[in-house]
Amino acid sequence: MDAGGGPLLPDSVLYEIFLYLDHVDVLSVGLVCQQWHAVARDEFLWKELFYRYYRISREVPRHPAAVSWYDEFQRLYDTIPCVEVQALREHNDQVLHLSFSHSGCLFASCSKDCTVKIWSNELDISLQHSSNMRPYNWSYTQFSQFNSDDSLLLVSGVFVGPHNSSSGEIAVISMENFTLLSRVRNKPYDVFGCWLNETNLISGNLHRIGRITSCSVLWLNNAFQGIESENVNVVKRLFKIQNLNASTIRTVMVADCSRYDSPDLLLDYEEQLAASSTSTCPVFDLGSDSEEEEAKPKQTPEPAVQELPDDGGVTAEDGLQQFFDDIMEGRVRPAMTETELETKVAELFVRNRTKPPELNLLSTDSNSKTKYLIFTTGCLTYSPHQIGIKRILPHQMTTAGPVLGEERRSDEFFDSLDHVIDIHGHIIGMGLSPDHRYLYVNSRAWPRDCVISDPMQPPPIAEEIDLHVFDLKTMKEVKRALRAHRAYTPNEECFFIFLDVSRDFVASGAEDRHGYIWDRHYNICLAKLQHDNVVNSVAFSPVEQELLLTASDDTTIKVWRSPRAVRIQQARKPRPRKLLFSWLMNQKS
């Protein structure tokens, strides 16, 4: 200020000077005087600092819940769980998966040491219980999930059967006394399994039909082996789906459609919607009679085989006979491999043996109890490259009724998928947003325009992991794929990398020895969380997104909190009483 008490520099000049500073210096100069403090809190200044520091396109609007640019800058800077506060080392082998209870009071961890451990989520996390699954011939535990009221824990693992054959098994553990309530076979083991409601869970089974053709059956199981009512089954068949070209159903999860109209965060601002129109992940509506033909990506050349007419007068048997007659009489391409022949026969057989898909999938009543069953699948090769979606109707959500489900006519031997999303790459992870509106998918892309001629030889996959986001209400990709994390294993050895989604953030593991955190609204990477080996799984606390857990092949579980949470905890810790300390020292002297 000058001698008269007025400012030496007008606010506009100070503003231009402050634009050359970073956010730390701006906060520092704001302590000089009231004028500088007012300019240092200017909204236009912090808007410039925000876009510059976080390198966000200016076409991206501010978070809808933000009240100011200063507060939004502080949110991204101060509330990310990036400070390691604890390392849990009770596992003695690779830690594969983490899951929180809905209350956030407990979490479970699965490991190659074949145990599932239950932890108490307090200020200092402690081990509450450990269950060893080796006595049940398990090789390791790989996945867990609490039911909706946190009274039961589903644990999925790899089961070693006769002649050292490996399959999967699901165990249900009571959280009241940690007793084992039931065990359910699960094949293949990477179906994982999931809860449909408080007392019923979904498992899978696989039946081989040919060398590269199979049938996946999804079962609804009661969590309790002892059923009081004779009208309630222990198990009931939900869906029976044909698999082509060595593909199988894996990684099942359930989305609750009733929560769509009250999302935690809407992601469809205009720039991302425009980008989604040119997405490389096409979505196929399977409301037609030829769902398998429609679900195939266009990069695969159509074989020169005469197609059957779509009228109802041609049966599968007539089609097969006509197909073989065409081969004998030379009307089709003579050079056809055994694999191509098996796939074509399977397609012809299933055409008139499949129940039509549910129509109007997008017009689901938000107030209904309808749910979606979501899983990975494929149609070109054994590596999972498509996401299948099947509607579960209210009457299907109970084990009451016939053991094998509703009675089926001969022309409804298989169930068709209601929707398919093609990823054009190897899917290595999926996760739902807390409101179940958005599906996040980790994938490693195939080369552009690649052609798969042998289903047992999938294309090479990229080291970069793409994180796609799909709106389950519109079935469209709503944001550009997120990138930062990497993976290195080849396509035939590729394994699952679990991700998790909170209200504002999404996190994922990676093979580059780091976990990653992105902001869901701005699509930017905010933090890298270091481990000494592959990070297999991440988990946000459902009640406190400033708490994150990461699990790694280095056998540790790391606990991460935000800088703000760390400061609050440190302030709450009791300080040593200096007078008492001095008195004790005097007594010793």
pLDDT digits 0-9 by tens, 346-356: 666 666 677 77
Query: Tokens 């990653």 belong to which residue?
Result: 516
- Confidence at residue 302, expressed as pLDDT on a 0 to 100 scale: 33
Taking residue 297's Cβ as centre, other Cβ atoms within 10 Å add up to 16
Distance, CA of 35 to CA of 13 (rounded, Å): 12
The three-class DSSP label of residue 359 is: coil
- Give whole-number Cα distances, 27 to 12, 74, 204, in Å: 18, 12, 57
- Confidence at residue 412, expressed as pLDDT on a 0 to 100 scale: 66
CB 259 within 8 A of CB 461: no
Tokens representing 550 are 């990461």
From the list 566, 505, 494, the residue with the least C-alpha distance to 83 is 566
SS (H, E, C) 333-349: CCCCCHHHHHHHHHHHH
Query: Tokens 């799909």 belong to which residue?
Result: 470
Taking residue 56's Cβ as centre, other Cβ atoms within 10 Å add up to 17
- Give whole-number Cα distances, 396 to 50, 264, 386, in Å: 49, 28, 24
- Confidence at residue 267, expressed as pLDDT on a 0 to 100 scale: 76
Distance, CA of 560 to CA of 423 (rounded, Å): 32
Distance, CA of 455 to CA of 15 (rounded, Å): 63
Query: Does residue 289 come out as left (phi exceeding 0), alpha (psi in the -120 to 50 range) or beta?
Result: alpha
Taking residue 76's Cβ as centre, other Cβ atoms within 10 Å add up to 21
What amino acid is encoded at 460 in this protein? P
Provide the CB-side half-sphere exposure for 276 (13 A, CA). Answer: 18
From the list 547, 548, 551, the residue with the least C-alpha distance to 532 is 551
pLDDT digits 0-9 by tens, 262-272: 677 777 655 34
CB 524 within 8 A of CB 55: yes
- Confidence at residue 193, expressed as pLDDT on a 0 to 100 scale: 96
Query: 368 - beta bridge partners?
Result: none
Distance, CA of 152 to CA of 174 (rounded, Å): 5
Query: 83 - beta bridge partners?
Result: 561
Distance, CA of 143 to CA of 222 (rounded, Å): 19
Query: 195 - beta bridge partners?
Result: 201
What amino acid is encoded at 486 in this protein? R
- Those residues whose C-beta lies under 8 Å from the C-beta of residue 528, and which sit 6 or more positions away, are 484, 514, 515, 516
The three-class DSSP label of residue 73 is: helix
Task: Say if residue 489 is exposed, middle or buried (CB neighbours under 10 Å; 0-12, 13-18, 19+).
Answer: middle
Tokens representing 9 are 């520099």
Provide the CB-side half-sphere exposure for 221 (13 A, CA). Answer: 25
CB 276 within 8 A of CB 269: no
CB 155 within 8 A of CB 169: no
DSSP-derived letter for residue 190 is: G
Tokens representing 513 are 């020895």
* Residue ranges in the chain whose pLDDT is less than 50: 271-314, 364, 366-367, 579-581, 583-585, 587-589
Distance, CA of 491 to CA of 484 (rounded, Å): 19
